[in-house]
Amino acid sequence: MRTHEITLVPGDGIGPELVAAARSVLDHTARLSGFKIDWDVHQAGQRAGPR
């Protein structure tokens, strides 16, 4: 099974909820299409904390 790496940056506000729903849809679509997604998740905004 082929794997594709996708970088994901959820962000703040309603971002995490929307990203979770979209990620679920993309994972399901990938399975149906015969490939896998390797998520490279990075935090941004308030959740990421000070630099």
The model's pTM: 0.77
Torsion sign, CA atoms 19, 25, 29, 32: positive
Nearest Cα to Cα of residue 29 among 51, 13, 48, 6: 6
pLDDT band at 16 (very low <50, low <70, confident <90, very high): confident
Q: Report d(CA 15, CA 46) in Å as an integer.
A: 12
Q: Tell me the per-residue pLDDT of 17-47, one tens digit each, with 9 for 90 and over.
A: 899 999 999 999 999 999 999 999 998 877 6
